[in-house]
Amino acid sequence: MTDINGLESVYFFDSVSDLNLFIQKQNSSQINFLCDSNTYQYCFLPYFNSNTYSVITIAPGDHNKNPQQLFFVCEELLKLHADRDALLINLGGGMVCDLGGMTASIFKRGIRFINIPTTTLAMADAALGGKTGINLGLVKNALGTFHHANSVCIATDFIKTLPQREHISGFAEIIKMLLLFDCKEWNKIAQHPAIPAADNPLLSGYIKAALAAKGKIVQQDPFEKGIRKSLNYGHSIGHAIEAVYNEKSDTLLHGEAIFWGIQLENLVANQMGIMSSEWAVNINSTLSQIFPLPTQINKIDKIIESLRNDKKNKDEKIQMTLLKEPGLFVINVEVPLDIVKHTLKHFNNL
């Protein structure tokens, strides 16, 4: 077990057995797990004692990260007679960590919680940082709070339970962090564009590098007033695409939308003279080798409308974090709407 110090303690466990011992040592009036139906079946039942803990189970998928599910979890905690000394353990991907974190932040004005991410994406990004949230209509994370987990517990054994598509998708957040803050690790990927398997030591190294970088940024700027906005790279257009494509069901995984968002925002940066054509081609071609995206973007008008409601905007003007080159970025870039429209339409003709 190792710890990365910061606003939240991040622990890496060599086995889920060690993680179990850690949970049993927590001082609380009761311990309740939050899972979705997938993580309950594949991550809770095989590894945790169902006679020891109460479990609240929700439907899977980002479209279920909504006010109705938030109220449901709060009501279930009331039925369990959870008090302010109760501990909520979020066992799942980014959706479960976001929803569970927000529940913990508002239930009886705040209870303690632990995130146990079970996906590559959540391990590298979503479980750490104190952001919680739910979606409202077509706007991703329109409602949310800052409420830090007491601990983030990572056991890469859980990645073995993932479908390959989920694992590949999750690598988008690792790539985002490396492009922003770790040129050395990015160069490794650029030279060998492949995603390591769950049991490959390279994967743990990439996750630790991403978390170490994020931990430093969150410590410097916990409430996203300045440099933490850099972590939104790829997420302005990416979130808009994800919201529109997943309006009724989960067509796109979060990481797939972010892969798309990073490539499109690189093209926006190039259009605005921030990123050179050489870097735009270099980065985007590497990403295309890792995860080939569809060549057509549908529902462009709806994507634009969702983007106009992005919570990062200011004075009704679109604001993005754009990359200059690996390791160099600009925050709070005001991006004209016509450049976004042109980029989305141009992408369909590439």
What pLDDT digit, counting tens, does each position of 121-138 carry?
A: 999 998 999 999 999 988
pLDDT bracket for residue 348 (50, 70, 90): low
Q: Which residue, among 147, 68, 58, has the nearest Cα to 95 in the 3D structure? A: 58
Q: Which residue, among 146, 152, 82, has the nearest Cα to 113 in the 3D structure? A: 152
pLDDT bracket for residue 68 (50, 70, 90): very high
| Per-residue model confidence (pLDDT) at position 350 | 53
- 4/78 Cα distance (integer angstroms): 34
In this structure, the chain runs to a length of 350
| Per-residue model confidence (pLDDT) at position 28 | 94
pTM comes to 0.86
> Average pLDDT, whole number, for the chain?
92
Mean predicted confidence (pLDDT) in 276-300: 90
| Per-residue model confidence (pLDDT) at position 247 | 82
In percent, the amount of the chain with pLDDT more than 90 equals 73
Q: Residue 8 to residues 55, 78, 101, 128: CA-CA distances in angstroms?
A: 24, 27, 13, 7
Q: Could you give the dihedral angle defined by the CA atoms of residues 52, 62, 229 and 132, in that order, rounded to the nearest 10 degrees?
A: -40
Token readout for 324 is 């200059």
Q: What angle is formed at CA 147 by the lines to CA 225 and CA 129, rounded to 5 degrees?
A: 60
| Per-residue model confidence (pLDDT) at position 293 | 77
Q: Summarize pLDDT for 147-177 with one digit per residue, the tens.
A: 999 999 999 889 999 999 999 999 999 999 9
Q: Summarize pLDDT for 82-106 with one digit per residue, the tens.
A: 999 999 999 999 999 999 999 999 9
Per-residue pLDDT at 71 exceeds 90: yes
